[in-house]
């Protein structure tokens, strides 16, 4: 019974990995919308594997390594493939302008920086209660939400805006840099569900819900931007109180 109990979080983590593998297939097929849905499912599983491990008190080094390996596929490789496809589509709008043909390959700095970020996380004792640098699920959700906004009409105003290669390259570089930055990002490891000590989490969840209800898919990347901004503000307020 104890062996089954210990492996429940690991089974959830494997579900995350399975979603990542399927998302890669969908991205290669050009079905970026379904790739995005699978990343969303994986993000939910990624939250619940850690939550379940803490609830059942069965955390282990193997579980931690398994989680990072699964995250590398789902939240490292997948957003790289999705961004590659988006850049490939966007360069078509440049009418084969010389120099843009190799631009899509810039997308693969996302998996590289994700790998560095996950390696740092596993060896950084400062990241037990919060993150140092944007976490890979947040980065992946932001990037994979773009196909949901675009939809199937590549000539719509939103699609033409997002499929600007300059914008996509900027997102790739900025988000990759944020993955390995020294910005402290708050986590969702609730020790309790009381207001005290969780103010930043509850305010963020409320604002995120409002963004998603009012803006739907457009609200998803804005939620990630909000997450980063609120983390920076929280860091500033924490330092001010400490000072």
**pLDDT of 30 above 80:** yes
Q: Which comes out higher in pLDDT, residue 8 or 42? A: 42
Residues 189-197: contacts with CB under 8 Å, at least 24 apart = 189/50, 189/54, 189/129
Structure tokens at 126: 């400062």
Q: How far apart are CA 152 and CA 166, in angstroms?
A: 21
Point out the domain boundary residue: 185, 208, 230: 185
| Mean pLDDT of the region 52-70 | 81
| Mean pLDDT of the region 99-111 | 88
Does residue 88 sit in the same domain as residue 202?
no
Residue 43 domain boundaries: 2-185
pLDDT digits (tens, 9 = 90+) for 137-194: 999 999 999 999 998 777 788 888 899 999 999 999 999 999 999 899 988 776 666 6
| Mean pLDDT of the region 35-62 | 86
Q: How far apart are CA 173 and CA 151, in angstroms?
A: 24
Percent pLDDT > 90 in the chain is 55
Q: Which comes out higher in pLDDT, residue 81 or 243? A: 81
Model-wide pTM > 0.85: yes
Per-residue pLDDT, 238: 75
| Mean pLDDT of the region 17-34 | 96
Percent pLDDT > 70 in the chain is 90
Q: How far apart are CA 36 and CA 78, in angstroms?
A: 9
Q: How many domains does the chain have?
A: 2
Per-residue pLDDT, 112: 97
pLDDT digits (tens, 9 = 90+) for 116-134: 999 988 887 776 677 888 9
Point out the domain boundary residue: 142, 157, 185: 185
Q: Which comes out higher in pLDDT, residue 59 or 241? A: 59
Does residue 152 sit in the same domain as residue 113?
yes
- CATH number of domain containing 86: 1.20.120.1760
Q: Mean of the per-residue pLDDT values for the chain?
A: 87
Beta carbons within 8 Å of 175's beta carbon, 6+ residues apart: 110, 134, 139, 142, 143
The winner for highest mean pLDDT among 37-46, 97-106, 181-190 is 37-46
- R_g of the chain computed on alpha carbons: 18
Does residue 147 sit in the same domain as residue 30?
yes
Per-residue pLDDT, 98: 56
Give the CA angle between residues 166, 232, 215 to the nearest 5°: 60
């Amino acid at each position: 019974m104890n062996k089954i109990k210990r492996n429940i979080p690991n089974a959830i983590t494997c579900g995350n990995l399975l979603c990542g593998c399927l998302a890669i297939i969908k991205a290669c097929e050009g079905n970026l919308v379904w790739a995005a849905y699978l990343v969303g499912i994986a993000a939910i599983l990624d939250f619940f594997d850690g939550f379940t491990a803490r609830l059942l008190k069965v955390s282990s080094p193997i579980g931690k390594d398994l989680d990072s390996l699964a995250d590398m596929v789902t939240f490292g490789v997948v957003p790289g493939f999705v961004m590659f496809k988006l850049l490939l589509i966007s360069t078509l709008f440049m009418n084969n302008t010389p120099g843009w043909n190799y631009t899509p390959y810039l997308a693969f700095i996302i998996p590289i920086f994700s790998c560095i970020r996950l390696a740092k996380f596993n060896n950084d004792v400062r990241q037990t209660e919060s993150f140092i640098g944007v976490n890979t699920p947040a980065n992946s959700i932001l990037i994979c939400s773009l196909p949901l906004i675009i939809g199937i009409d590549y000539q719509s105003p939103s699609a033409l805006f997002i499929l600007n290669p300059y914008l996509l390259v900027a997102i790739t570089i900025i988000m990759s840099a944020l993955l390995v930055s020294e910005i402290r990002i708050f986590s969702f490891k609730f020790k309790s569900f009381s207001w005290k000590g969780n103010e930043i989490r509850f305010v963020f969840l409320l604002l995120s819900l409002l963004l998603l209800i009012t803006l739907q898919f457009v609200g998803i990347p804005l939620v990630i931007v909000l997450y980063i901004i609120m983390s920076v503000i929280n860091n500033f307020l924490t330092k001010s109180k400490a000072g």
